[in-house]
Structure 1
Amino acid sequence: MADFLEILTHGRRLKAQLKGLALDELQEVIGKMQAIAAEREEELAAENAANAERLAKIEEIRKKLAEEGIGLDELGAVVGGEAAPRKKRAPRPAKYEITVDGERLTWTGQGRTPKAIKERLDAGASLEDFLIK
């Protein structure tokens, strides 16, 4: 696609590529490209009109709010404005434990398996062997 776009946007390359086309074929290509360009212009005009309509509605609503004496900050507070701060959940209780070199390591069972437990599991131990009773 990049090569095609490079050819289309570079005058000499485009001329070299179109050199082998007959005049009627060249005019057909030009006609198709003009149709595509016209279609794009219509889409852009419709998009701009929709945008202008939307902006007009926003301005109308802003004026009504100003007439009623309502500020945008008040409106945000009523609607929910700022998001409520997220509550942190309590840490999960440890479910598994292992003692390594006199140090007790615990694991909730979520996330990455601790290295010491993983080594023992690989050696044939069962996860139930590490359950906290």
Structure 2
Amino acid sequence: MQDIIKKLSNPRQAKTVLKHASVEQLERVLNVITEFKEEKELEAQMQAEREQQERLELEALREQIINKGLNFDKLCDLMKPKKKPRKASKSDTNTPSNTYVYGDNKTWNGVGEVPAELQSLLDEGFDLSDFIAQP
């Protein structure tokens, strides 16, 4: 879409794009563009009027605040949205809470495969609870 606007904005490129169009077609295109331009101008004018009206209303409110002797900073604090307290992040319930100590102070946290050295001790008849680290 921007490509069309670029081509129609440049007189030489517009001439190439529109060279095969008839006079009637050019008039229709011109009418459509003119109507669209008028709509855009009207929208811009209405937006400017809305902004002007809002500015006047805000100035009137400002005058009322000053005349009543209200503290503007306190009013601003009231207008700010209340911050919601953050929820504490929940600890991951999937992580095992036990740490197992075996061999020469080697540890295993219970995640993943059982280390070969610990597995050989378990195969000898020890229970896993025998290796739980004491806090």
TM-score range, shorter chain: 0.5 to 0.7
The equivalent residue for 1:4 is 4
Which residues of structure 2 form unaligned runs of 5+?
101-105, 115-135
Question: Deviation above 6 Å: which 4+ runs of structure 1?
Answer: none
**Corresponding residue SS for 1:13:** helix
Kindly indicate whether residue 63 of structure 2 is the aligned counterpart of residue 58 of structure 1: no
RMSD (Å) for aligned C-alpha atoms: 2.8
Offset of residue 70 of structure 1 = 1.1
Please list, as runs of the form range in 1=range in 2, the aligned pairs for 1:82-93 lying within 5 A after superposition. 83-84=82-83, 86-87=85-86, 89=88, 91-92=90-91
The equivalent residue for 1:29 is 29
TM-score of the two chains, using structure 1 as the length reference: 0.66
Percent pairwise identity: 19
Distance 1:80 1:37 in 2: 40
**Range that drifts further, 27-36 or 2-11:** 2-11
Please list, as runs of the form range in 1=range in 2, the aligned pairs for 1:49-128 lying within 5 A after superposition. 49-77=49-77, 79=78, 81=80, 83-84=82-83, 86-87=85-86, 89=88, 91-92=90-91, 94-97=93-96, 99=99, 101-104=106-109, 116-117=111-112
**Range that drifts further, 24-33 or 39-48:** 24-33
Please tell me whether the aligned partners of residues 7 and 14 of structure 1 are also in contact (alpha carbons under 8 angstroms). yes
Aligned length: 108
Distance 2:8 2:73 in 1: 51
TM-score of the two chains, using structure 2 as the length reference: 0.65
Offset of residue 104 of structure 1 = 3.0
The equivalent residue for 1:42 is 42
Higher-Rg structure is 2
